[in-house]
Amino acid sequence: MNIRLVKPYVGREELENLKGVIDRAWLGRGPLCKEFEDKWNEFLGIKASTAVNSGTAALHLAVLTFGFAEGKKVLVPAMTFCSTANAAIYNDLEPVFVDVVEETLSIDIEDMERKYTKDCTAVIPVHFGGHPAEMDRIVPWAHEKGMKVISDCAHVAGGVYKGRKLGTWADIACFSFQEKKLLSTGDGGMISSDDSELIDPLRVIKEVGMTTDTYARYKQQQQGETKGDPTHWYYEVRRLGYKYNMCDVVAAIGLAQLEKAEYINKNRIETMSKYIDGMKECKHVRPAFPYDMSTPYYDFMVRLESKEARDKFIVHMQNKGIATGVHTMPVPYLPYYRRFNADVPVAMKIWEEYIVLPFFVGMTEQEIKYVLDAVVEFDEKQG
Ligand SMILES: *Cc1c(COP(=O)(O)O)cnc(C)c1O
């Protein structure tokens, strides 16, 4: 058997929506992007959203919208994908890497206290692997210090923490619909907030700064609203923008994914629970998180006792045709980021003991059992 690591849950519904896009022959930013934003607001229970072409773009713009002064600092966890730190760097801000709590791999609030200086303007907590960061502590702590909270929600889509949707705790939240994420459009992202004044300027900035978008101009012309107006084509660029908008091809897939979100999330929780149950007797291969069964996770990740054991485990799984992966290396470990000061001993010490197992919607019972049998077999061989 060959089992891949992740697989987007796509099919008939996505094709159906894409057919509509082709039939209309409007592939770029159009009505489906707006519909996706509206449905996303409903799904999340939030006031305003704007759709972009990646989670990285979402993070760049979410930081940009606050207009922080150049050279200020942003607190980011060491265990995350590098885009979290890039969001600061793109905006001429300095990332300050904060260590993680070993048990949860979430940003360590005590270390954040230690790293905090007056120059810190924002914190970007990450729900690493789908495990919720302690938003009930982080948000009041940051606000009390006059900082903003930008939530990197790339590993959640509909997840819940203490009865409240992840993405609604912070000042602004960023989602990713990249290939591997919970809802996937190939690539895509969303920026959401209850404060529409943070979102509205981004609708222009994400479209290269153009004050009216092509589809709006097209619609006005079609509906005869611009009849007799020789300046119907006019737009201005009043500030530097980026080509970050989503297009209708992507939104079509996103709308279909959103329809399935409830099922996707339920199915992920079921698989998590089968995995945890199936390895409860294991002594050497342990679930990476204190998995909270009320919220879907992005990764099913396990921890071994050492890098050597992890490497042996990878090869054992490879020999069975089972894909594994490392999500992720600590950002300060990556060569480009070594220019930034980072004292994050926990992340640097433990990251090599983690490994991600195949985890996607539509995994069959046989596939789950096959992975579990391989895990248990390895565990027993360790004595
Ligand atoms: C995937 C990811 C991003 C970036 O999302 P893209 O859509 O790939 O640009 C940001 N942060 C984290 C934690 C991620 O895993």
Give per-residue pLDDT as tens, 338-356. 999 899 999 999 999 999 9
Q: What angle separates helix 196-205 from helix 55-64, to the nearest 10 degrees?
A: 120
- 140 burial via Cβ count (<10 Å: 0-12, 13-18, 19+): exposed
Ligand 1 touching residue 184 (CB < 6 A)? no
pLDDT band at 54 (very low <50, low <70, confident <90, very high): very high
Ligand 1: residue whose CA is nearest its atom 1: 154
Ligand 1 touching residue 198 (CB < 6 A)? no
Secondary structure class of 89 (helix, strand, coil): helix
pLDDT at 267: 97
Backbone phi, psi, residue 289, to 5°: -120, 160
Q: Does residue 213 surpass a pLDDT of 80? A: no
pLDDT at 58: 98
Cα 82 to averaged position of ligand 1 atoms, centre (Å)? 8
Q: Does residue 231 surpass a pLDDT of 90? A: no
Average pLDDT rounded to a whole number, residues 93-113: 97
Q: CA angle, corner 141, sides to 136 and 145, nearest 5?
A: 150
Nearest-atom number in ligand 1 for the CA of 80 is 13
Ligand 1 touching residue 152 (CB < 6 A)? yes
Cα 218 to averaged position of ligand 1 atoms, centre (Å)? 33
Percent of the chain residues topping a pLDDT of 70: 100
Taking the C-alpha atoms of residue 193 and residue 119, their distance in angstroms, rounded to an integer, is 24
Cα 189 to averaged position of ligand 1 atoms, centre (Å)? 9
Which residues contact residue 290 at a Cβ distance below 8 angstroms, ignoring those fewer than 6 apart? 103, 104, 131
pLDDT band at 220 (very low <50, low <70, confident <90, very high): confident
pLDDT at 227: 87
Secondary structure class of 76 (helix, strand, coil): strand
Ligand 1 touching residue 299 (CB < 6 A)? no
Nearest-atom number in ligand 1 for the CA of 181 is 1
Cα 62 to averaged position of ligand 1 atoms, centre (Å)? 13
pLDDT band at 95 (very low <50, low <70, confident <90, very high): very high
Average pLDDT rounded to a whole number, residues 39-66: 98
pLDDT at 246: 98
Ligand 1 touching residue 80 (CB < 6 A)? yes
Q: In what order do the strands lie in the sheet with 189-193?
A: 48-52, 189-193, 172-176, 148-152, 120-123, 73-77, 94-98
Which residues contact residue 195 at a Cβ distance below 8 angstroms, ignoring those fewer than 6 apart? 47, 48, 171, 172
Nearest-atom number in ligand 1 for the CA of 180 is 1
Nearest-atom number in ligand 1 for the CA of 178 is 7
Nearest-atom number in ligand 1 for the CA of 58 is 9
Ligand 1 touching residue 189 (CB < 6 A)? yes
Ligand 1 touching residue 169 (CB < 6 A)? no
Nearest-atom number in ligand 1 for the CA of 83 is 10
Tens of pLDDT, residue by residue over 113-147, are 999 999 999 999 999 999 999 999 999 999 999 99
pLDDT band at 203 (very low <50, low <70, confident <90, very high): very high
DSSP H or E segment with residue 62 = helix 55-64
The answer to whether residues 165 and 44 touch, using CB atoms and an 8 Å cutoff, is yes
Taking the C-alpha atoms of residue 282 and residue 279, their distance in angstroms, rounded to an integer, is 5
Cα 176 to averaged position of ligand 1 atoms, centre (Å)? 6
What secondary structure does DSSP assign to 194-245, as a single string? S-HHHHHHHHHHTBTTBSS-HHHHHHHHHTTTTTT-TTTT---B-S---B-B
Strands 73-77 and 120-123: parallel
Place of tokens 């485990």: 313
Taking the C-alpha atoms of residue 156 and residue 326, their distance in angstroms, rounded to an integer, is 18
Kindly report the pTM of this predicted structure. 0.96
Q: Does residue 222 surpass a pLDDT of 90? A: no
Cα 83 to averaged position of ligand 1 atoms, centre (Å)? 6
Nearest-atom number in ligand 1 for the CA of 54 is 7
Could you tell me which of 66, 59, 70 has the C-alpha nearest to residue 148?
Answer: 66
Ligand 1 touching residue 81 (CB < 6 A)? yes
Q: Does residue 198 surpass a pLDDT of 90? A: yes
Ligand 1 touching residue 55 (CB < 6 A)? yes
Q: CA angle, corner 253, sides to 248 and 256, nearest 5?
A: 125
**Greater confidence, 219 or 77?**
77
Which residues contact residue 227 at a Cβ distance below 8 angstroms, ignoring those fewer than 6 apart? none
Cα 378 to averaged position of ligand 1 atoms, centre (Å)? 32
